[in-house]
Amino acid sequence: MNPTKLLLAAALALLCALPPAVHAVDEAASTGRLVRTVHFRHEMIELDPSGAAVLDMLADDYARAQPAHVVVVGYAAPDEGRMRAGAAYAQGISERRAGSVRNYLYRHGVPLSRIQVRGRGLAIPAEGGENPSRRSVEIFFE
């Protein structure tokens, strides 16, 4: 097997080994302090370079503050999945976005036992309600 395929297989195995996102649609986003927000492109769950930079800063914040919990809350915009399944699709994409952030934080030193993941679907994020900002993940320290 070539090195690229081996690397991809190893990355996939790591992602599959991580626990699934927690489904907590009816819960409040968090009672903690909003630390950072990561934005995503329309219907995307992959982090772009600016999102990775935000999470790098957050990993540094975590190392300094050592909070008891890091709460990762994903959101979707109303126009995402309109042609697919509406609210169910939005819930899924919000959970997958939060999972992407969780995985990144884990790979950068935040223990999985300290990360709580929530998908809020079409709920309005703490930072505002404009559609582009809804394509986001908010990260709180508790």
The string of pLDDT tens digits covering residues 49-100 is 999 999 999 999 999 999 999 999 999 988 876 656 678 888 999 999 999 9
> Hey, how many other C-beta atoms are within 10 angstroms of the C-beta on 26?
7
**Per residue in 96-141, pLDDT tens?**
999 999 999 999 999 999 999 999 988 877 766 554 568 899 999 9
How far is residue 11 CA from its own chain's centroid? 18
Nearest alpha-carbon partner for 72 in 130, 1, 21: 21
Strand partners, 74: 119, 137
